[in-house]
A and B are shown apart, each in its own frame.
Chain A
């Protein structure tokens, strides 16, 4: 058992514990902060598994941008009270059943399959080599991803626009 193995299990424990805390928090701000911790753990895991560039991207995009967007939204809309009951039974039971079923199936699939899983050697893809590989073999995918981001930008703008314009006709009707 090498030091890397111990680090892997420590990181895995950190990720799972913080994600469980995030999923079960009633306060959404706490949930998002626990999830930021979980994404930091995932970034460490990526570094351990030989993807330092992805580790940086995980922190910048997931923990930095996406989670801050969530925090921004949660603090913007200011819910008066926690909506509905917390974990209603009617949804809890199917969720537990589906989750347990998925876990059992995936662990059985990992156990059977008739192959020996050998330990992986440590290796690292340098960011330069990774960038060259990405733009040589997946240049079309990168272009499509950029189009997708443009579509998301326009879509978010349109969704925001409709909200702002919608009260205007009603206000005119009220005035008339």
Chain B
């Protein structure tokens, strides 16, 4: 006997909240991407807990897809951040938007 599923879900929602806070409050594209990683990880924790609770491997299969999506999102996101940084010299979302408007890129 480990713990009830509700405790795992509570841990997962706390992690998700932390990731959401990181994405919303930081003014830095890299930290925002890290926040999205934390949120995806929280979803994976919830899936594994549910998988044990119902004794089904369905949840664990979903975690494989979450891993694939996280890898995809990180590679494209970091490539986009490098492109933005080379163009504007900053990873601040606001400064970057202003610069792009000035350069007529939007």
Contact = CB atoms under 8 A, between A and B. Distances in A.
Interface of A: 2, 4-5, 8-9, 12, 15-16, 19-20, 22-23, 28, 31-32, 35, 38-39, 42, 45-46, 48-51, 53-54, 57-58, 61-62, 65-66, 69-70, 73-74, 76-77, 79, 83-85, 87-88, 91-92, 94-96, 98-99, 102-103, 106-107, 110, 117-123, 125, 129-130, 133-134, 137-138, 141-142, 145, 148-149, 151-153, 155-156, 159-160, 162-163, 166
B34 A119 contact: no
Nearest to B78: A73
Contact of B45 (A42, A57, A103, A151): A42
Interface residues of B, number: 72
B25 A92 contact: yes
B15 A83 contact: no
Contact of A120 (B21, B30, B52, B75): B52
Contacts of A58: 44, 67
Contact of A51 (B3, B10, B48): B48
Contacts, number: 236
Given A155-B76, A166-B87, 9 more contacts: A9-B3, A19-B18, A28-B28, A39-B41, A54-B64, A66-B71, A77-B85, A125-B51, A129-B57
A91 B4 contact: no
Interface string B17-61: 111111011111011011101100100110011011101010011
A48 B68 contact: no
A2 B30 CA distance: 41
16 contacts: A12-B11, A15-B15, A19-B18, A28-B30, A31-B34, A39-B41, A49-B51, A58-B67, A83-B90, A83-B92, A91-B25, A117-B4, A119-B4, A155-B76, A160-B83, A166-B87
B67 to A, nearest CB: 5
Of listed A87, A117, A166, residue having the most chain B CB within 10 A:
A117
Nearest to B94: A84
Contacts of A91: 24-25, 27
B1 to A, nearest CB: 4
Residues of A contacting B: mostly: helix
Nearest to A80: B89
Contacts of B6: 110, 117
Contact of B79 (A48, A103, A149, A159): A159
B14 A16 contact: yes
A119 to B, nearest CB: 4
A98 B21 CA distance: 8
Contact of B64 (A28, A123, A134): A134
